[in-house]
């Protein structure tokens, strides 16, 4: 039976490649999806990779992950990380383990990025390793879901 992982991406991550390449690198979200699929294959995960600019859509997908009892969620919630009580509550509402991830080291950036609304609701946080943060998040999920 295949073990599904949701990799969820929040606002503006569809702009990767064009968006602030000095911070986020020159790769696109499609490149990251391909990396996740390749890593998933090695780890025994099927990757369901999604992006939305809309907070409620992300909430719906977290609920869907709970309903389907997927193995885990890796989420880069983008700017909603710093603002969204709704995402915090959605993560708390399911029993699926969630790993928060960021491409950049949010703690080395503007002060408003230092606080995560979702961090208290997730299993752990990975940030600052560029797009490799995604693959590291999959490894983290593997280590806690074996």
Of the candidate spans 27-35, 58-66, 103-111, 138-146, the one that interacts with ligand DQA by CB under 6 A turns out to be: 103-111
- Cβ nearer to ligand DQA, comparing 105 with 145: 105
Tokens at 65, concatenated: 């992950």
- Cβ nearer to ligand DQA, comparing 14 with 145: 14
Q: Which residues, at least 6 apart from 144, have a Cβ–Cβ distance to it below 8 Å?
A: 72, 97, 123
Q: In this structure, what DSSP letter does residue 70 have?
A: -
When binding is defined by CB under 6 A, the residue of 70, 91, 103, 140 that contacts ligand DQA is 103
Number of residues that bind ligand DQA (CB under 6 A): 10
Tokens at 20, concatenated: 């602030």
83 binds ligand DQA (CB under 6 A): no
**Are 74 and 43 a contacting pair, CB within 8 Å?**
no
Beta bridge partners of 6: 48, 73
Binding site for ligand DQA (CB under 6 A): 12, 76, 78-79, 81, 102-104, 106, 113
């Amino acid at each position: 039976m295949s073990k599904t992982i949701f990799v969820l991406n929040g606002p503006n991550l569809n702009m990767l490649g064009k968006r602030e390449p000095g911070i986020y690198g020159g790769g696109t979200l499609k490149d990251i999806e391909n990396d996740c699929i390749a890593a998933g294959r090695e780890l025994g995960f099927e990757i369901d990779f999604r992006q939305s600019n809309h907070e409620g859509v992300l909430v719906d997908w977290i609920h869907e992950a709970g309903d389907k009892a997927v193995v885990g969620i890796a989420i880069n919630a983008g700017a909603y990380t710093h603002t969204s009580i709704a995402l915090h509550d959605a993560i708390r509402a399911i029993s699926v383990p969630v790993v928060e991830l960021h491409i950049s080291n949010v703690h080395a950036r503007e002060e408003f990025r230092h606080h995560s609304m979702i961090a208290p609701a997730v299993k752990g946080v990975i940030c600052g390793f560029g797009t490799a943060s995604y693959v590291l998040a999959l490894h983290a999920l593997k280590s806690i879901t074996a």
